[in-house]
Amino acid sequence: MKKIIFFFLFFYSCSSDSEDIGVSDSSIKCKDEVKFEFHNFSNIEIENNVMVRGIKEILSNIDLKSTKLKVPIHYIFYPSSGLSASQANAAATKIASRQFPGSDSSSNEKYKFVYDDLYSKLQKEAITADLPLGSCGGSVTIALPPKDQSLDFDNYYGKVSLHEYHHIFQNTPLHNNPSGNKKYVYTWMKEGTAEYWALTKFTEFGYSLSTKDIVSQVSEIKSKLKEDTIIMDGKSYKMAQYRKMSLYDDEFGDSFPIHSTEIGLVITHYMITVKNKKLEDIIKLYETGTSVGREKALEDFLGISYNNFETEFEVWIKD
């Protein structure tokens, strides 16, 4: 049997965790303007001003007012070594108070939930996006490495910031309609399409992916997926099960040889190049999924059952 050895690469350290923390509270009136707001904690903007500037510059290409988002997005920049407990407390208090204005930690469950979540995340390396139901703002945590860290391409964290912004965009239909279908998007689509969109916009906005363009990344991931067995970090994986997209319906795949972001990128590429779908139509599935659920949204879009789509994709991978 052919065995191929791969190593885990640092592609993504990303997750999105829009938790359902209760129904929308109609007593909260959001007053903040729809825009990107940037918050620096510790001395990150002095330590790492090139990365921070690159992120602000790339996000300036996005006109939030033309989207359906009704609240601001708070980008939180901090060092990947994590904030101290007292800095994390100050940061979490500042952002949670904007997300749930008029609340305080003891009286409001939702405020407490986002406060606790941020307080814990900001003390370690976290790259996440969240648009809690009923909140007056999204939050994106961007842990930045030391400025001399080598990266795949220039303004790599600009690409990461686009990916995280796309998670806010994905969550917007549910945020606007909290009684919608909670299973409105598959994890492989959430991650894969966010990455595909981020890579596409990154180049559209005039930046270079160097050797990490979509076609190169897809072919690298596809070559892993088509193997019988791969060995990564000394562990052997039978790949047949990891080619099944349904494995990643609700699973990020942090402990898998293939991450949901990777297989999702390949599935998005497959829909565009083989099924002749447009990226702008694929991303409309979040909204459709919010009303009819993710399975019906996808099946109506592709004109085939989910099972058949999964099988066709596996055949294409092995081709």
Place of tokens 């009819």: 292
d(CA 149, CA 107): 43
Q: Which is nearer to Zn ion, 14 or 285 (CB)?
A: 14
How would you class 170 by CB atoms within 10 Å of its CB: exposed for 0-12, middle for 13-18, buried for 19 or more? buried
Nearest-approach distance from CB 194 to Zn ion, in angstroms: 5
Q: Token pair for residue 158? A: 């600009």
Q: Measured between alpha carbons, how far is residue 283 from residues 90, 186, 211, 234 in Å?
A: 36, 12, 26, 37
d(CA 143, CA 208): 22
Binding positions for Zn ion, rule: CB under 5 A = 14, 16, 191
Nearest-approach distance from CB 15 to Zn ion, in angstroms: 6
Q: Give me the torsion for CA of 181, 113, 15, 23, rounded to 10°.
A: 10
d(CA 135, CA 73): 11
Nearest-approach distance from CB 198 to Zn ion, in angstroms: 9
Nearest-approach distance from CB 209 to Zn ion, in angstroms: 17
Q: Which is nearer to Zn ion, 16 or 99 (CB)?
A: 16
Which alpha helices (H) appear in the chain, and where do they start and end? 44-47, 49-59, 85-99, 109-121, 156-176, 187-204, 214-225, 260-273, 279-282, 285-292, 294-302, 306-318
Q: Which is nearer to Zn ion, 14 or 267 (CB)?
A: 14
Q: Which is nearer to Zn ion, 254 or 300 (CB)?
A: 254
Nearest-approach distance from CB 84 to Zn ion, in angstroms: 27
d(CA 98, CA 134): 12
Rg (CA), the chain: 20
Q: Token pair for residue 259? A: 């991450």
Q: Which is nearer to Zn ion, 218 or 230 (CB)?
A: 218
Nearest residue (beta carbon) to Zn ion: 14
Nearest-approach distance from CB 280 to Zn ion, in angstroms: 19
Indicate left, alpha or beta for 258 from its phi (over 0: left) and psi (-120 to 50: alpha).
beta
Q: Which is nearer to Zn ion, 14 or 140 (CB)?
A: 14
d(CA 265, CA 197): 9
Nearest-approach distance from CB 169 to Zn ion, in angstroms: 12
Q: Which is nearer to Zn ion, 122 or 168 (CB)?
A: 168
